[in-house]
């Protein structure tokens, strides 16, 4: 290892014991660590913010498995590059040998055709694919490829992780251990790193290299701010500010403040944020926070997403602004969100309760003989297209899951339920 390498590269861990963070995946007894130690790793995708160890983890796995390691960047590689790597893997594959690992950084930037070109090799086990992405794979990775891969979520490094990395680097790096470095204050260096190990080490490297001579290097909050010469309000779509601003945007829409919501939207637009990322947030907001108080919000948010893809940039900013204002100014309800959470909790607690016989489908004679569908009442045969009957398993009879909230739209729905079901919705 040469001292000309960047500090972050010099400190890149070579094994799991030196790897910092992600204990939920690679800590003692964790799921991914067990598979690595067993020498059987399936294709998977690592999803998480920058600088949390996605590339490092892939390299550690390849070293541990003693597998050939191929890497591609989705930014600079095309279908031809993918096929060349697969051909290399095929020619280097020996009988009973472990599958070569193909690591694709920023796999969310691969086009559909590029992702399609991976399917055969992944499905047959010719290569073990490890993809890395900062974007939600559910939106960015094609379904056939996603179905063949596990998805593991990596988290930003917390304060303890970052401090551990700082002290370890100062003590062990070939260059820094020769200097006297005093961590007088750490708040600023931790804040600016934003949970990103690479950024943390880059800042540390900058602080040390800015000092002349062999005297002690004292790191204070004021020095970090001064040396970085950054505007704390600057937008960094790959770092902490990205998550802070989208959080402020979401909370402003949820809090019914269109002025603030459009301001944070402008910050994202000016910072070069992916427009579709913003549109997806608006879709989620429409369902989670506005919901049944104004069902049209979801229709408009969906239309926004479609129109943005048709119109493109820069005019797309107007479509985003229109939708943002509409959602922020709409009445709010999270009753649908709370209902599905309550229902999921009930399912987790009660397990797979059998479907009552009268609600089961009876397409065959045998099923009818077993009373499938017997005594089911067809609602349209009754006055007002409704008749009271039990639709929940007997164990959950009468249990409330959805509760309407105090807005005009849901009050109408609640009144309708009271008329039909009486005391159950009172």
CATH number at residue 52: 3.40.50.300
List C-alpha distances in Å: 21 to 90, 194, 195, 241, 411.
Answer: 34, 14, 10, 21, 48
Given a cut of 90, is residue 162 above it in pLDDT?
A: yes
Question: Is residue 9 one of the residues assigned to a domain?
Answer: no
List pLDDT tens digits, range 290-343.
Answer: 999 899 999 999 999 999 888 887 888 999 999 999 999 998 999 898 888 888
* Domain co-membership, 190 together with 164: yes
- The pTM (predicted TM-score) of the whole model is 0.56
Q: How confident is the model at residue 80 (pLDDT cuts 50, 70, 90)?
A: confident
Confidence label for 247 from pLDDT (cuts 50, 70 and 90): confident
CA atoms within 13 A on the CB side of 239: 17
Measured CA to CA, the distance from residue 56 to residue 395 in angstroms comes to: 50
Residue 384 within any structural domain of the chain? yes
> Whole-angstrom Cα distance, residue 36 to residue 20?
16
Model confidence band, residue 2 (pLDDT cutoffs 50, 70, 90) = low
- pLDDT of residue 239 exceeding 70, the answer is no
Residue 28 phi, psi dihedral angles, 5° rounding: -55, 125
Q: What's the pLDDT at 254?
A: 92
Q: Please report whether residue 184 resides in a domain.
A: yes
Both 321 and 259 in one domain: the answer is yes
Range of the domain at 416: 355-425
- 307 and 262 in one domain? yes
Quote the pLDDT of residue 417.
82
Query: Do 78 and 173 share a domain, yes or no?
Result: no
| Domain co-membership, 214 together with 289 | no
Give the residue from 153, 188, 213 where a domain finishes. Answer: 153
Please compute the mean of the pLDDT values over residues 187-216 and round it to a whole number.
82
Determine, yes or no, domain membership for 5. no
Tell me the β-bridge partners of 133. Answer: 47
pLDDT value, residue 357: 83
Span of 177-186, 246-255, 335-344, 378-387 with lowest mean pLDDT: 378-387
Query: Rounded to an integer, what distance in angstroms lies between the CA atom of residue 371 and that of residue 99?
Result: 52
Q: Is residue 14 one of the residues assigned to a domain?
A: no
Q: How confident is the model at residue 3 (pLDDT cuts 50, 70, 90)?
A: low
On whether the CB atoms of residues 278 and 320 are closer than 8 A, the answer is yes
The pLDDT of residue 234 is above 50: no
Q: Do 209 and 285 belong together in one domain?
A: no
337 belongs to a structural domain: no
Domain co-membership, 362 together with 419: yes
- State pLDDT tens for residues 14-61: 889 899 999 999 998 898 999 988 888 889 999 988 888 999 999 999
Tell me how many degrees the CA angle 341-347-351 measures, rounded to the nearest 5. 165
Same domain, residue pair 89 and 136: yes
| Strongest mean pLDDT among 27-41, 62-76, 205-219 | 27-41
Q: What is the pLDDT of the chain when averaged over all its residues?
A: 84
pLDDT tens for each residue of 135-155: 888 877 888 898 889 899 998
- Specify which residues 181 forms β-bridges with: 217
Q: Are 111 and 179 contained in the same domain?
A: no
**Cis-peptide, bond into residue 282, ω within 30° of zero:** no
Angle at 24 between CA 22 and CA 30, to 5 degrees: 115
Q: Do 363 and 421 share a domain, yes or no?
A: yes
- Per the structure, how many domains does the chain have? 4
Please check whether residues 217 and 251 belong to one and the same domain: no
348 in any annotated domain? no
- Rounded CA gap, 277 and 139, in Å? 10
Question: Is residue 335 included in any domain, yes or no?
Answer: no
Q: Of 153, 168, 194, which residue constitutes the final position of a domain? A: 153
Residue that terminates a domain, selected from 196, 228, 260: 228
Same domain, 131 and 191: no
């Amino acid at each position: 290892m040469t001292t000309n390498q960047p500090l972050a590269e010099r400190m890149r861990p070579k094994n799991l014991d030196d790897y910092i963070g992600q204990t939920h995946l690679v800590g003692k007894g964790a799921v991914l660590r067990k598979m690595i130690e067993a020498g059987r790793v399936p294709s998977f995708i690592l999803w998480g913010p920058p600088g949390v160890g996605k590339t490092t983890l892939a390299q550690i796995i390849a070293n541990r498995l003693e597998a050939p390691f191929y890497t591609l960047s989705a930014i600079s590689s095309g279908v031809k590059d993918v096929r060349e790597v697969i051909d290399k893997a095929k020619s280097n594959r020996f009988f009973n040998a472990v599958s070569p690992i193909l690591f694709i950084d920023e796999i969310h930037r691969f086009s559909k055709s590029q992702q399609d070109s991976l399917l055969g090799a992944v499905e047959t086990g010719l290569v073990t694919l490890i993809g890395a992405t900062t974007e939600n794979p559910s939106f960015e990775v094609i379904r056939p490829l996603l179905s063949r891969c596990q998805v593991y979520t990596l988290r930003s490094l917390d304060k303890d992780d970052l401090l551990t990395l700082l002290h370890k680097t100062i003590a062990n790096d070939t260059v820094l251990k020769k200097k006297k470095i005093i961590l007088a204050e750490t708040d600023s260096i931790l804040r600016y790193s934003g949970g990103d190990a690479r950024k943390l080490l880059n800042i540390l490297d900058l602080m040390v290299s800015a000092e002349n001579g062999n005297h002690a290097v004292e790191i204070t909050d004021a020095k970090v701010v001064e040396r970085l010469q950054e505007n704390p309000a600057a937008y960094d779509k790959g770092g902490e500010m990205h998550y802070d601003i989208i959080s402020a945007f979401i909370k402003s829409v949820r809090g019914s403040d269109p002025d603030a919501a459009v301001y944070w939207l402008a910050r994202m637009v000016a910072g070069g944020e992916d427009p579709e990322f913003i549109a997806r947030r608006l879709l989620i907001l429409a369902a989670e926070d506005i919901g049944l108080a104004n069902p049209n919000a979801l229709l408009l948010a969906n239309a926004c997403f479609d129109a943005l893809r048709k119109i493109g940039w820069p005019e797309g900013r107007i479509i985003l602004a229109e939708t943002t204002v509409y959602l922020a100014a709409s009445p709010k309800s999270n009753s649908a969100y709370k209902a599905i959470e309550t229902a999921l909790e009930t399912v987790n607690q009660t397990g797979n309760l059998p479907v009552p016989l009268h609600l089961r489908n009876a397409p065959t004679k045998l099923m009818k003989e077993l009373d499938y569908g017997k005594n089911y009442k067809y609602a349209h045969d009754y006055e007002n297209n409704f008749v009271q009957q039990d639709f929940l398993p007997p164990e959950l009879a009468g249990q409330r899951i959805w509760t309407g909230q105090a807005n005009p739209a849901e009050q109408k729905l609640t009144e309708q339920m009271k008329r039909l079901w009486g005391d159950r919705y009172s």
